[in-house]
Amino acid sequence: DGGITQSPKYLFRKEGQNVTLSCEQNLNHDAMYWYRQDPGQGLRLIYYSQIVNDFQKGDIAEGYSVSREKKESFPLTVTSAQKNPTAFYLCASSILGHDSNQPQHFGDGTRLSIL
Amino acid sequence: AQSVTQPDIHITVSEGASLELRCNYSYGATPYLFWYVQSPGQGLQLLLKYFSGDTLVQGIKGFEAEFKRSQSSFNLRKPSVHWSDAAEYFCAVGLYNNNDMRFGAGTRLTVKP
């Protein structure tokens, strides 16, 4: 079955530690996204990528980094510079629509907590 | 800048009752509109989308939504709610580029037996 796989489902970070969240898709989608979800705030865009080896900052990129070395993969690193990393992180992908905005397909998320 | 507002943070309905979840958007042109549903601890699932044409859109799980340009609204409806519909619902507005999608804060639906 085609879809998006996020791992791990739960992740704990120690003070001063960088952690990496995995996102893999086998939908052959060009575009991939990372969102942060906090209670009562909906989804906020962290980073997105429309093509391999290229990515753009979203609204809340500070303290995060990404890479896009393969079309299928878009890992997110939460660095020690992110002072409030506790949240639910969602990865999404979509085809690129040249004349319309295409729906995004989501993974099941990773919940990150601070130890 | 485009934005989307879901005025209701939490709604409770009885099983079998009708449902309407409100969504208002702010954008200068006709946007692309979406409704997603999220069960606890899960990702978002697309319920329906509006790009153009018929303003009444049918989706999965018996949901429908109506685009009203004059009111800048895209409300989600279901004639008879089932207990399994309890979840959080997000309205989203998109522009020409996929990266310019904005999500509302969500409406949590509770279904009473």
Interchain contact B27–A (C-beta under 8 A): no
Choose the closest CB to A101 out of B90, B95, B105.
B95
Biggest distance spanned by C-alpha atoms of chain B: 42
Q: Is B70 on the interface with A (CB under 8 A)?
A: no
Q: Which of A11, A99, A104, A112 to mutate to test the interface with B (most CBs of B within 10 A)?
A: A104
Query: Under a CB-based contact definition with an 8 Å cutoff, are residues A66 and A21 in contact?
Result: no
B101/A97 Cβ within 8 A: no
| A2 close to A94: Cβ distance less than 8 angstroms | no
Please tell me whether residue A77 adopts helix, strand or coil conformation: strand
Query: Virtual CA dihedral for A37, A74, A26, A90, nearest 10 degrees?
Result: 0
pLDDT at B1 over 80: no
pLDDT, tens digit, for every residue of A54-81? 999 999 999 999 999 999 999 999 999 8
Give yes or no for a cis peptide into B113 (omega within 30° of 0): no
pLDDT at A15: 83
CA-based R_g, chain B, Å: 13
Residue type at position A113: S
| DSSP tally for chain A: helices H, then strands E | 0, 11
Q: Tell me, yes or no, if B9 comes closer than 8 A to chain A by beta carbon.
A: yes
Per-residue DSSP letters for A78-113? E-TT-S---EEEEEEEEPPPSSSPPPPEE---EEEE
- B110 in contact with A, Cβ within 8 Å: no
Q: What is the DSSP string of chain B?
A: --EEE---SEEEEETTS-EEE--EEE-SSPPEEEEEEE-TTS-EEEEEEE-SS-SEEE-GGG-EEEEEGGGTEEEEEESS--GGG-EEEEEEEE-SSGGG-EE---EEEEEE-
User: How is residue A94 written in tokens?
Assistant: 């979509």
Nearest residue in A to B91, CA atom: A42
What's the pLDDT score for residue A22? 98
- CA-nearest residue to A111 within chain B is B41
Render pLDDT for B27-81 as a digit per residue (tens, 0 to 9).
767 788 999 999 988 999 999 999 888 899 999 999 999 999 999 999 999 999 9
Asked if B44 is an interface residue toward chain A (Cβ–Cβ < 8 A), one would say yes
Contact residues for B1 (Cβ-Cβ < 8 A; gap 6+)? none
Closest CA to A90 of A30, A28, A25, A29: A25
